[in-house]
Structures are given as C-alpha cells and as structure tokens.
Structure 1
Amino acid sequence: MSQKTVTVSVRRLVEFILRSGDIDTVSGAFGEMDAMQQGGLMHRKLQKEAGPSYRAEVSLKHTTEMDETLAITVEGRADGVITETEMAADESGELGLKEVVTIDEIKGTYRNLRYITEPVLVHLAQAKCYAFFYAEKEDLEEIQVQMTYVHLKTGKVQRFREKMTRNELEVWYTELIDRFAVWVRHQIAWIKKRNLSIGAGSFPFEYRESQKKLVSGVYQTILRHRRLFVEAPTGTGKTISAIYPAVQAMGNGLTETIFYLTARTIARTVAEDTFGLLQDKGLAMKVITLTAKEKICVLDKVQCSPEYCPRAKGHYDRINEALYDLVTQEDRMTRECILAYAGKHQVCPFEFQLDAALFADAVIGDYNYVFDPNVALKRFFSDRSGDYLFLIDEAHNLVDRAREMYSAVMSMTELTHARHAVEDKAVDRRLVTYMDRSILAMSALRESSDQSCQLMGNIGSLIVYLTKLSEQLEETLKEGVTAPLREVLMEFYFDIRRFICAFDRSDDRYLIYALRSEDSFEIKIFCVDPSKDLGERLAKGCGAVFFSATLLPVQYYKEMLSDTAASDYDLYVDSPFAEENRLLVAATDVSSRYTRRGRKEYERMAAYIRDIIRGKHGNYMVFFPSYQLMKDVFEVFTEMELMKAGHGLQLVVQESEMSEDARQKFLDAFQADAADAVIGFCVMGGIFSEGIDLKEDRLIGVIIIGTGLPQVGEERELLSRYFNEKSGRGFEYAYLYPGMNKVLQAAGRVIRTEKDRGVIALLDERFNYSQYRKMFPREWHNCSKTSLNTIVQQVEDFWTDKA
C-alpha cells in the first residue's frame, strides 16, 4: 500500500487544532490586521535591527510517519533564529562558552502592550513547532522560544522567552499531530469514496447537442486552467451542464473545491437541487450552502460578543467537536442542517458554516464570498491559492455587483454622527482630535467643489487623517468601550477601513468624485472597471466559468469581468427550442422615451397589452423600465372598458419593497388553467425579471415596454464619459448593454421548456434600430415588426397555428 503525504502550514495546523475561547467582534475584527502589510513592514524592521546573530525567515519543515499509509509534513518559516553564546558550566563544573539557539515568533498588534501579560496560545504554538523542527534538524537537546509582540503604531516591543527541551517539545508536538491526523484520515477516506462515486456516475439526462457542447467546453476550460464565458439561452440546462463536468474534473484531480457563485437565492436553490440530483444517483459529495449572517443568526439582532450571545462565549472550545460531528454525518449541508448542528453543539451557525466549508467539496454562495475584499472567505483565500474552480452563475449581474464591492463612500454626515456619539464620553482625546481633523479635511474638499457632481483631484489629506483615525479607533475599541457606543464606533471603523482600502486599490480604473447638495456632502471612490480586482481574486483558483442566459456582447463582459480577456474562451450555446413555438414582435409605433411620455403614449401601450392578451386566455407579465412608468400605464389600463379586475382578469403589481411571503403570493397567482387570466405588472431588472421559472401554461406571454436603459444620472454619465475616452463606446457600456440585458432577461421568462409556447412583444420603436437589433441573440433573427393595426391578427394567427 502506497504512503500518502499530506502537507499543511504551521499556522493552519495550530490555528485549527488549538483555537479556543470566545467569538468577539472587536478582537476578531483586528486580528486580521496583524497579517497585513503594516505588520510585515514592522517584522522586517525588527529583523534588520536584530544584528548578525539573527537569521530572518528561516524555512523549516518536519515530516511525521504516522504509519505505512500516511505521512504528515508541516512546514513554514520562522520569523527568526537567534544564535548566541553564553557562559555556562559543563558536566565537570568547568565554565565555558555555550551556543544557545532561540526561535523568535513576531506578532504585530494594535492592542496596548500592557494588556498582553502572556503569549497567546496559538502564537506560542507556532514558535514551539519551529523550535521542535529546528532542534530535531540540528540535534539540539535544548532550545529557547521567544514571543515578540510589537505595537504597529508605536513600534514598542514586548517579549516573552522560555527554555524548552527537545523531549518535551516532541511530546507536545506528537499529541498535536495525532489530533490533526484524525481529521486527515477522515478526509483521505472521504476523497477516496467521493472519487470512486464520481467515476461510477454518468450524466443524469439524455444529452442534448447544446449540453454536449457546454459540458465539453467547461471540462476543457478546467483542464487548461483557463476562463470561459458562456451564453446559454434559458432552458439549455446550463446548471447541470456546468456542474457535471466540474464534478468529473474533481474526480480526475483537476480541482479540490468547486465554488458555485450566484447573485440570487433562487439560483442557489437550483444549484442545491442539481447537486442533490447527482447525489440521489449515487454521487458522494459534501455540498454546503452559505447563508448571510443576518439570515442565519439565532439572535433577533446580530451581536457577536460573549456578553450578548451565549453561543459566542466559548464558541472555539466547542467548534471542532461540532465540525467533526457534522462532516462525518452529513453530505447536504443546507441552512437547516447547519442550524440543527449549531444548536446541538451551541456554536455560532455563521462561523460554523464557514469552518464547515473547508471540508466541503462544493460551496454554494453569493459572489461576495469570493470576490468582496471585505467579506471573502479568508479560510480559503487570505494567504494562499488553491485548485479552486469558480462557477459563476448569472454572470451578467457581476459587473454592477463588483463595482459596488470595490467602491466606497465617506460622507460628512457619517463623520459628524460619529463625532456627536463620542461627545462627553470618556474616550481618548486623540480619537476626538482625529475626528475633528477628518471633518476639517472633508470641509476643505467641500469648499473646493462647486458642482453637484465633481471629479476630485487629491484627497490625500483626508486619507491621512482617516488612517490615523482608524488606528485610534482600533486602540480605543481594543481597550474597551461600552455599548451602544461600541456598536456605533465599530460600524464607523469598518466604513473607514473600506474607504481607505478602496483608495489604496484605486488607479486609472477608478474615479474619485464628490456629490454635493445643500444638506449633504460625500466622497465616492468609484470602481468603474472591476476587471483587475476580480482578476486578482480569480487568480486564487485554477479556473473559472462565467455563464448566463444573457451575456451579450460577450466581449463587453470579458473586458469587465476578467483581466485575461484576450486569452479567455467564449462559447455560445444555441437554443434547443423550436422557433415556431414563439411569436417575437417589435412595435414600430410606440416609444418609452422621456420626450414621448404622456397620456397618448400610455393609452397606446395599454391598447397593446389589451390586444395581446385578447389573443389567448392565460397568464402574462408586462415589464417596465421604472416603477413610475408602470404606475402611469397601470392607471390607464385599468380605466379601459372591460379591462377592470373582476371581468375574467386578475391584475397583480410588483411593489418596490416586497417580503418573501409577498413575492411568493405574487408568483402563486400564475397558475395554469386558472379561471381568470392574470397580468403581472413588473419592473425590468427586478425580482421577477430573472430567476423565476413559470413553465408551460403558467406564463404564455411577456410584454416588454421600453429598452431598459438605466436612468440618466450623475454616476451613469461618469461611466459614459470614462468609456468614451477609453474606447469611444460610452453609451454602449453605460446604457445600451446593461439595458438590453434587462430586456433579454425579462424575455427569457416565457420559453422555459420544449413544451412552452408564448408571445414576446417588444414595445418600443428603438427595437427596430440596427444598434439594438445587433444586441439580439441568434434565435431572435425572426423578430417581425408590428403595430396596433397588425398586432391582433399576428397574435391570433400564432395561437391558431398552435391549436
């Protein structure tokens, strides 16, 4: 039997096996800061100042032969190995010089050093690992361990040193590695079982030609460690056609974790169901769905502190037992499953699921778990890359989501609110001083801007004071602040850090501008082109597949979502459905342009709706570019004779804020063979324009009013000017492409299966212009023109042919 060697870093080993204590938002928020650039700079400064006896960044590793089947290698770099000589007596009592070796482990912190009275357990454990490795390598009977804590703001240092024998280090390390081996053996056995099941599996359906093409494209992309952009029309089975080859690639050792990333809850449910389908057919795979903290927290209000949450107290003392219970018993780790095991072991369900993800083969979750620099899974991405595969569903949504992730805002209102919160409070005066200076810096920027929206030049002075303010906030919060001031300052701190980090990332792909009104002033660092930021995240994995029913033009999405666009693959999958099952028309005598809006145009739109639904009794959705236009047309439509609710017609209207129950009630109105016809009035780009699946007679027509172009606004105009200067395509990038994507998504609600029949009516004369027609997918080549004089006959002829 061949021996398997598993390699793990010193830090990951000790942080996993030896973690203990409470969850605390304050301490947890700043724990990451120790490993950031400032900590690295301070490390190097201390190492240079230490003198010739100090060797920095010494690579060390140790392999333990557990048995004939398993060896575990632990490796890392000691911050320092100090070799000194001291006077000591030998066995005969004679004095002489003796060489003494000390392993130094440096940790940067913002915590006041007077509160650090002994080394943190996991920090000391890292040093002890290196000490054991070095003593073994150099055959030393004794070695010293030194913990060096350095304050990242003041540079002050506090050290703890103790002498240890190789024997006691070996006993300690053996217990540590034995505890870790339990997890390793479980994972090895699981992966063997998983891969055998993958090899025995097959595609769960009869292949369509379009699915063969997609499955092959995805697998080849993974094999070559590339990125693929897929336009796959609704109904092509793109979810299974992406997941199945990814699973096969995992069985062949091409990827270690599949991340299925989405923008909407419904898409996560589809992914769960797809993995579940494969599991029902024999696939052994651990799949976890990640849930936002606010939705999985057991408290009424999220308060991650032991004084408020009993589960936060001692969470890390219980977490590994809870994890082992979960991963050895469950393969489908849904929200309900996580909550059940978290309750059983009294641990935080949010942190629990993040740890459980490390043991999952597939992780389903929102985009932000990979791409958002403030939320991304640090357990996977903070200090390493991996053979991770990213399957990015609804990829058309990622452009705006990414801009949001990498942008940040600082407002005068937020600064003054925080300043008022500390008024007359017992806080360090330096905190108040830096707040005042930050406010003055914002005031100066306001005085320099004389427009409602203005690009800014140098905001360096604001950044300097915000940086000092954030450092002081860290120190203040570390030393302890009572609620509710702590909550205010914590939120304020995170906003400042996000703003500073956005500034540090900013380059010529960003715009910094001010928004000014009579009662507000804010500075926004706006990520116009997120491709580089996304690329850095994608580089953490071995490949990525972006797919959507609407990814046209593909070059635009490649440029916006990937920094390797020139070498990325793209694939267009033809629709598998018969063209004759769909009537697609574009009106020539109606427009949603602002200059045309008025009673007369609304009556024409309402007449179109009336004439289309008279062609066949059934369910329809009407999509509008805005709530206001929807309201105006709805009022006109309901005034029409015989068109009021109660005449065999039920009207349902999307509201701007809808609960989950309200959304479901809206969709439940669309039932096949109902006595009343149903018309849903909806907004393009909203919750009902994508991700819903009303098959067959539950929806037989979609009427799209307007081209979906985003409303003209200051930020959109900045986008337009930026891309005009860059490529001469400002209108397309800022308005046309996002607008037409909404149109295509709305149109995709109709034909979901080969049994579906339906009408798609595009009510805006601009859909007949070449600029817009070029945006149509291939299967729309037979789009015909229509008018109020011809629409009735066209609809009647279509349904007569389908009878």
Structure 2
Amino acid sequence: MPTIHLPIRQLVEFLLRTGSIDSRFTGFDRANEGARIHRRLQKAAGEGYAAEVFLTAKREMDGIAFALEGRADGIFTDEAGTIVIDEIKTTAIPTEEMQEDMNPCHWAQGMVYGAIYAQQNGLEQLDVRLTYYQIDTDEITRYTRHFTAGELEEFLCGLLRQYVPWAQRQLTWADARSASLQALRFPFPAYRPGQRALAGEIYRACAAGKTEHKGGTRLFCQAPTGIGKTMSALFPALKAIGEGKGVKLFYLTARNTTQAAAEDALQRLHAGVPGLALRSVTLTAKEKACLCKDADGHPSCLPEVCPYAKGYFDRVKDALASLLDGTPQFSRAALEETARQFTVCPFELGLDLSAWCDVVIGDYNYLFDPVVRLHRFFDSAGDWLFLIDEAHNLPDRARAMYSAQFSKSSLTEAKRALGKGKSPLKAALTRADKGFLETRKQTAEQGGTAFLQELPAELLKPLHALQAPLQDWLEQNPDAEAHAQLLDLYFAVQDITRAAERYDEHFVTQLSAYGSDLTLQLLCLDPSAFVDASLACGRAAALFSATLTPPGYYRSVLGCPDARAVALESPFPQEHLGLYCLPGISTRYKDREASIPAVSDALAALAGGKVGNYLAFFPSYAYLRAVWEDFSARYPAIPTLVQESGLDDGARAAFLARFAPDPEQTLLGFGVMGGIFGEGVDLVGDRLIGCAIVGVGLPQVNPRQEILRRYYDEHSGSGFDYAYRYPGMNKVLQAAGRVIRTAEDKGVVLLLDDRFARSEYTRLFPRHWRHLKYLKGTEQLKEELATFW
C-alpha cells in the first residue's frame, strides 16, 4: 500500500486555512518569538507538564497509508484526572477581541494530536486546550473543549478523506518521477573532460547521505569554468533521487545568472526526455515578484490594499491544482501568469508550490538566512539534497546574513516624521535617541570607530522597549504619511534585536560615529556554526565553484572541517591560454600613483596583440579611474569602456553588449575585481579574448578587516590569509576565468604585480596555470603575444 508522509500542521493548514495574507509589520520574527514564548510557558507549567511531545501514527484511507507526525506543545493531567492536549499560540489580537473560534486550524491541530494520543494510550476521552499568549500585554487566555476518543478519530478521518485527492495526485506523480529519473540519461552525446568525475563525486555524496556524517555528507568541488558544472551537479543528484536517495533537491545560488543556468539545464533534460516527470520552481524575492507595490516600491501585503493578498487562502488550492496539471517547470513568469489568473500572491504561491516540486531553485538565503529561510522545510532535518553553486561567495554572504546594523539617524528622522505633539512612540524614540547620542559622543572622542567584544546593553535596551509602541502606532495609523518610514524602522529594530540574540564569541560590535550619526553594527566574524547547522537540515550538500582554493579555508569558514574536497583538472587545451606576468610592477597602495604609466603601457601592449575585446580588472574604482585617465590620454586610438559604480540590470546588460562577437576594432573595458563583471559573466568565443589583473585583489585595509584578521589569528594563526590573501586571490582567479569558457576559446591573461611571483601567492594558483611566464617588461610581452596569436 502506498504511503504518504504528512506533517500534522501541514495537513491541517492546507485543508482548513482560509482568509487573507496579512503581514502587517509583525515581520519574520513571529516564529522565533513564538518559540521563545512556548518555552517560557512550558517551563512555567511545572513538572507534570510534558513539553514538545513527538507523536507519530499511521492511518489508512481509501487505499492510502498516511504516516502522520507532529509535536504537541504540551500534554498534562488536570486536577480532575483528565488528560489535556495543550496547543500554545502567540497572537497580537487584543484580548478583548479574541474569540474561541477565531482560527479553526488551532483547534484542528490539537484535536489531531488528541486522536493519536487517545488511540495510543487507550483513552476514552480527553480535553484539548488552546492557550493564547498576547504578545503586547503578556496576558494569557485559555479555552478548553472536551472530546471523546471517537469524536477525535472521526475528525481525523474526515481530514484525511478531504486530503485523499491531493495524496493520490502526489503518489501518482512520485511513481512517474521515479520511473522518469531512473530512465534519465545524460543529455549530451558525451561527457566533457572532468564532467564524469564531478558527476561521480556528487552522486556518491548524495548516496552516502546521513550514513557518512551525522549532519549529512558534505563535498567541496573545485571545477574549472566551462566544464559544465551545472549539469554535472544536477544530473547525478536527480539520479540519486530516482533511486530513493533523497526526496527533494535545492539548487541554491548567489545570483540570478546562475539560477538561469539551472533552469536552462533542467529545460535541456526535459527536451531530451519528452514527458519527463520532474517539477521545478524558481523562487523569486518578494520585492521582485510582487504585483502590488506601494508608492516607494515596497510590497503591500495588506488585504485592504492588495487584491492578491485578500482571500489568498480561499483561492490558492485552485491555483495550485492548475499549475500541477500543467507544465512541470515553474519560472517567475509562469507563477506571475497563474497569480493574475487566480488573483493570488505570486511570491506566496511559489512558496506553497515548492512543497509539490522536486527541484527548488533560489538564493542562498532560503537555506542559510535565519529570517528568510524556508521554515516549512528546514525547521527540522529532512531527506533534502543541497547543491550550492558559486560557493566561493558563501563566506561573505553568510557573514552578512547573521550580521545587522542600526543607525541613530533612523530614530531622529522618525521623530521628525511624527511631527509635533506627545505620544508613547515619540517618548520611546526620544529615549533610544538619547542613548545613541551619548554613545556617539564617546565614540567620536575615541577616534570615530570603536570595537567591543560584548553587546552594548545601553543601546539595545531602549530599542527593545521601542518595539511595542512602534507596533501600536503602525496598527493604529495604517494610512499615515509616515507609515512606510516607520515600517522600515520597525524592521531595522527587529533585525538588530534578532542579531543580538545570536550574539556570541563569533561576533564583534562596531560603533562608528560620522558627523551627527552613529551606526551600531553587530558583525558575525565566523559564520561556520550557523552554516553547519543549516547544512545539517539535509541529507547531503555539494558546494562547488571554479575557485575554492585553498580548500581548508572554505571548510573551516563554512563549518565543514571533515568534508571531502576535490579539485578537477581543466578540460581545455593548455596552449589555448596565454598566461603572462610582469613582476616588475608594484600595485601596493603606496606605489599606485607611480605605477600608473607602467600599467597603462602593459594594457596597451595587451590590447595591441590582436584586434579584439579585452577587460582590465582593478582593486578599486579610484585606481581604475586614475589608470583610465592616463591610458586614454596616451593611447587615444584604443577605444575604452569604464564600469561605473552602482549599475542596474539595464546598464550592466548595455556594458556587456559592447563586447560583441567578430569585432572590427579593439575594445578595452575597465572593471573592478569582485564586481559584477569579475565573475558570473559568460563572454564566449571572441566576445572576450584577454584580460589583465591589476594587483592581487586584497580587500581594503580597514578596522573591520583588521578585526577579522585578529579573530582568525587567534583561532587558526592564519589571520592575514583568511582576511586578505584568500579572498583577494579568489577575485583574481574569478576574473581570470572570464577568458576561457569553452574548449574552442583562445585568449590571454596578464598578471600585473610583483606579488604574483611570491610563493605565498603562487601556491594558490590552479594547476592549469603551470605554464605561466614571467616577463621583464612590455617589449618582451609584445613578443610573446605575437608568438601566441
């Protein structure tokens, strides 16, 4: 008999949840806040109160076996000797407005737990109690209902009977998917060199799963650009799922371009196997997916404003059924079309659809960010497979996810926006602002920047106190002109107070005084424990990139000290890459002004080797601009293109469009290492035939980088490497990887800095750089280029 594994909360909410999406300003912290309150109430209940009781049961309905599971908040025996199932809920609804039947899902959850517990313990009757905790007043309201075991069992069976059509849909799809994936074949006539090795490593990691590592198998793969990493990762992971080694695949990326690559790879699999039963959904950030934004461009998730939020839960099942009966690939465009057809929120529709999909494509934050992560999957461990693309980006992204900042100016501006008059909110803002003003004076006296190992309690206490009056004002003034501004303030306060709860020895506090402002930052220096905990939610994780050198650094920073790490050889002919270095140039900060003419001459020699498109990458915009001005003045016959800071998607596309195939004249682009053109850009063939790397890419020396250096000096003795050298060389290797994208590409890479000849840097070079030539000057470079071309 086929079996459906079904969390009890999922069953109840899917069938019984009605009404509208209403995010208000409660933010994303409700789950964490609720968990804290649950623990407090459970502890206060006393010794006879069993908290977080895990319950499992099997039931059969219409030929389908249901494996149910969930956690009852509490089970205890009351004074009359009756067993009571306690369901705890937090609410912002004022106590006087509460009603016993205000949410049928709450009663249903407790009743299902009651049915299971009564059956397992031979009880004829028991009680279900709802405990509501009012978060603003700390008031507790309780409702209790009495049930016979028969009534509870009948209720549970009724729910399962309603769910049967959906379960049957799920089982039919699972059978088709299993057969499809078992028959799946690699969608190309042959593997490229290195592809089979990469696919084999990922398959073995997925197959091993939890048996190898209690937190799931971890694998780091460094594979050269152009090897076809996306397909080499997706294909073996899907084969593993087809063999029952994993139930859902999460393909997580740092940028939209790699999401598109995953979508294209899946499209190719579908094209190669007509009728392939494989559903995938691409999750898009709410800000981009939203169909109803306010005047400032923010999503308006209020039922009285947004028709897609109003009545969402009344229509979403029809929208889901329509999607599930159609095409199996759900892009942003497909979700938007269905959202308009059924008047439902496309962002929430994507999240709800993900439960029915085999592959979920999205940003890193859907797994790693403590606020945005997909709680429906990752609040407990599951048989998930994680593919982490462009994993060299994850250390910095993870640090940012667990850090937070708050500025005094947001308090001052909020007081100004409220105008004249007194109010509890204005008083709370004044108290918080006063604390920041005092600290700003002290920080300014200390030179403008201060670092603390501990939390600044004198700043955080008034911010905690600000939340309740701020929430009250937002509730009472939904149409006020200042609403959007104070809503942003509310989220900023939530962000910094949440970070404070995570704060431990892996963090540092930075205070920065600028003029009349003070910025408080809680900085996560070491995200390894958080990343490890996130990866432990799944069966296996493969983290891959063209640049994961040295592997020990990435394993350490990402909490995977025992992970297997493999580095694959480049599949491309070595003679297709001309690799040269001019070690007579220093691009250190103190030498930059003096180096400008020499760098310009080297770039002119590079661009003069052959007509074509070139890119030169610099460590900063200031250095870029200085060299460009000199180059343009001295070599006006060579057209140039300069990357400006803060380019939007359209400007980025326009910049890349200048790198056209079959150019009739040379173009030299000036870009920044680590920027939007330094990685994730695919200029195939003669759209790019050479690049220059000016400097070793070290991050700018500043107080924050120095704190990071000191932290890792204390923990591993490798502070300079972790804070500067490894991140810098990562930018260098990523930029150099723009040149050779396919087996047919041919091009040159020019390194400009004397440090590229030193052992502490050469040991970080990939193996396919063994033929690097060190040259004495531009004349020898011209000779080598003439020979190469």
Give CA-to-partner distance per residue, 1:584-640, whole Å, 9 cap, x none.
Answer: 001023232222223x53222222122222221111111111222222222222223
- Letter of the aligned partner of 1:40 in structure 2? H
CA distance in 1, matches of 2:28, 2:656: 45
Contact 1:42 1:152 in 2 (8 A): no
The residue type paired with residue 523 of structure 1 is: L
Q: 1:387 aligns with which of 383, 387, 401?
A: 383
Give the aligned partner of residue 686 of structure 1.
675
The one of 357, 361, 366 aligned to 1:360: 357
1:496 and 2:496 are equivalent in the alignment: no
SS at 2:779's partner residue? coil
Q: What's the secondary structure of 2:27's corresponding residue?
A: helix
Q: Is the 8 A contact 1:7 1:75 kept in 2?
A: no
Matched, 1:514 2:511: yes
How far apart in 2 are the matches of 1:394 and 1:228? Answer: 14
Moved more, 125-134 or 371-380: 125-134
Aligned-pair distance for 1:11? 1.8
Give yes or no for the alignment of 1:369 onto 2:366: yes
In structure 2, the CA distance between the partners of 1:576 and 1:100, relative to structure 1 (3 Å rule), is closer
User: Does 1:178 find its partner at 2:161?
Assistant: yes
* From 246, 259, 277, the counterpart of 2:268: 277
Say if 1:82 and 1:101, in contact at 8 Å, map to a contact too.
yes
Question: Relative to structure 2, which stretch is displaced further, 756-765 or 669-678?
Answer: 669-678
Is the contact made by 2:613 and 2:690 (CA closer than 8 Å) also made in structure 1?
yes
Secondary structure of the structure 2 residue equivalent to 1:719: helix
Where does residue 214 of structure 1 map in the other structure? 198
Partner secondary structure for residue 662 of structure 2: coil
Q: State the SS of the aligned residue for 2:504.
A: coil
Structure 2 matches for 1:341-352, cutoff 5 A? 341-352=338-349
1:8 to 6, 9, 15: 6
Q: Mapping of 1:535-614 within 5 angstroms?
A: 535-562=532-559, 564-565=560-561, 567-598=562-593, 601-614=595-608
* Aligned with residue 87 of structure 2, among 90, 102, 105: 105
Letter aligned with residue 410 of structure 2: E
Of 186, 200, 221, the match for 1:203:
186
Please give the alpha-carbon distance, in whole angstroms, between the structure 2 residues aligned to 1:5 and 1:472.
50
Aligned partner of 1:245 in structure 2 is: 236
User: Are residues 1:73 and 2:73 paired?
Assistant: no
Kept in 2, the 8 Å contact 1:34–1:109? The answer is no
Letter in structure 2 aligned against 1:612? L
Q: Structure 2 CA distance, aligned partners of 1:185 and 1:779? A: 53
User: Counterparts in 2 of 1:326-475, with a 5 A limit?
Assistant: 326-381=323-378, 383-424=379-420, 429=424, 431-449=425-443, 450-456=446-452, 457-474=454-471
Is contact 2:696-2:753 (8 Å) kept? yes
Highest Rg: 1 or 2? 1
SS of the residue corresponding to residue 658 of structure 1 reads coil
Partner of 1:29: 27
Which moves more between the two structures, 322-331 or 67-76? 67-76
Q: What TM-score, normalized by structure 1, do the two folds share?
A: 0.91
| Matching residue within 733, 745, 761 for 1:772 | 761
Deviation digits for residues 765-794 of structure 1, max 9, x if unmatched?
Answer: 221222221221111111111212311101
SS at match of 1:621: strand
SS across alignment from 1:790 = helix
Structure 1 residue identity aligned to 2:603? I
Map Cα deviations across residues 728-786 of structure 1 (whole Å, 9 max, x no partner).
32222111111111111111011111111111111122212222212211111111112
Native 8 Å contact 2:83 2:127 kept in 1? yes
Question: Which deviates further from its counterpart, 676-685 or 257-266?
Answer: 676-685
Give the secondary structure class of the aligned counterpart of 2:100. coil
Paired residue for 1:626? 620
Tell me the distance in 2 between the aligned counterparts of 1:593 and 1:78: 60
Contact 1:268/1:365 (<8 A) preserved: yes
In structure 2, the partner of 1:636 is 630
Point out where structure 1 has 5 or more consecutive residues left out of the alignment: 86-98
Counterpart Cα distance in 1 of 2:554 and 2:711: 17
- Which residue number in structure 2 is paired with residue 288 of structure 1? 281
CA contact (8 A) 2:455 2:500 kept: no
Q: Is the 8 A contact 1:60 1:78 kept in 2?
A: no
Shift of 1:388: 1.3
Aligned match of 1:760 in 740, 745, 749? Answer: 749
Structure 2: state its 5+ residue gaps. Answer: 210-216
Distance 1:585 1:32 in 2: 56
Partner of 2:16: 18
| Structure 2 residue 182 is matched with structure 1 residue 189 | no
Give the SS at the match of 1:376: coil
The 3 A distance-change label for structure 1 pair 749 and 83 is same
Letter in 1 for 2:763: K
Q: Which amino acid aligns with 2:462?
A: Y
Where does residue 744 of structure 1 map in the other structure?
733
Distance change (3 Å), C-alpha of 1:289 and 1:426: farther
Asked if the contact 1:55–1:82 (Cα under 8 Å) also holds between the matched residues in 2, the reply is no
**Which residue among 507, 525, 530 is the counterpart of 1:528?**
525
Q: What letter is aligned with 1:267?
A: T
Give the 3-state SS of the residue equivalent to 1:789 in structure 2.
Answer: helix
| Structure 1 stretch displaced more, 543-552 or 34-43 | 34-43
The one-letter amino acid paired with 1:313 is K
> Offset at 1:237?
1.6
Question: TM-score with structure 2 length normalisation?
Answer: 0.92
**RMSD, aligned α-carbons:** 2.5
Q: Which moved more, 1:344-353 or 1:251-260?
A: 251-260
The structural deviation recorded for 1:337 is 0.6
Distance apart, 1:533 and its partner CA: 1.1
CA distance in 2, matches of 1:174, 1:79: 23
Counterpart-to-counterpart distance in 1, 2:518 and 2:592: 33
Letter in 2 for 1:446: R
Counterpart Cα distance in 2 of 1:597 and 1:696: 33
Question: Is the 1:626–1:683 contact (alpha carbons within 8 Å) kept by the matching residues of 2?
Answer: yes
Alpha carbons of structure 1 residues 365 and 784: separation in structure 2 relative to 1, 3 Å: same
CA distance in 1, matches of 2:270, 2:207: 24
The residue matched to 1:48 in structure 2 has which SS? coil
Give the length in aligned residue pairs: 770
1:310 equivalent to 2:307? Answer yes
- The answer (yes or no) to whether the contact 1:651–1:680 under 8 Å persists in 2 is yes
Aligned with 2:700: secondary structure?
coil
Q: Partners in 1 of 2:305 and 2:628 — Cα distance?
A: 49
Label 1:210 to 1:448 Cα distance change in 2 as closer, same or farther (>3 A).
same
Equivalent position of 1:88 in the other structure = none
Q: Once the 2 structures are TM-superposed, how far is the Cα of residue 289 of structure 1 from its aligned partner? A: 0.9
1:295 is displaced (CA, Å) by 1.2
Give the aligned partner of residue 92 of structure 1.
Answer: none
Q: In structure 2, how many angstroms separate the alpha carbons of the residues matched to 1:363 and 1:702?
A: 35
- Higher mean C-alpha deviation, range 106-115 or range 702-711: 106-115
The secondary structure found in structure 2 opposite 1:755 is coil
Distance in 2 between the 1:472 and 1:100 partners?
41
Q: Could you tell me whether the CA contact under 8 Å between 1:222 and 1:542 is conserved in 2?
A: yes
Deviation, structure 1 residue 376: 1.0
CA distance in 1: counterparts of 2:708 and 2:33, whole angstroms: 35
The Cα of 1:78 is off from its aligned counterpart by 5.6
Decide whether the 8 Å contact of 2:193 with 2:227 is kept in 1: no
Q: 1:474 to 1:260 in 2, by over 3 A?
A: same
The alpha-carbon distance between structure 1 residues 785 and 344, as it changes in their structure 2 partners (threshold 3 A), is same
* Structure 1 residues 794 and 441: alpha-carbon distance in aligned structure 2, compared to 1, 3 A threshold: same
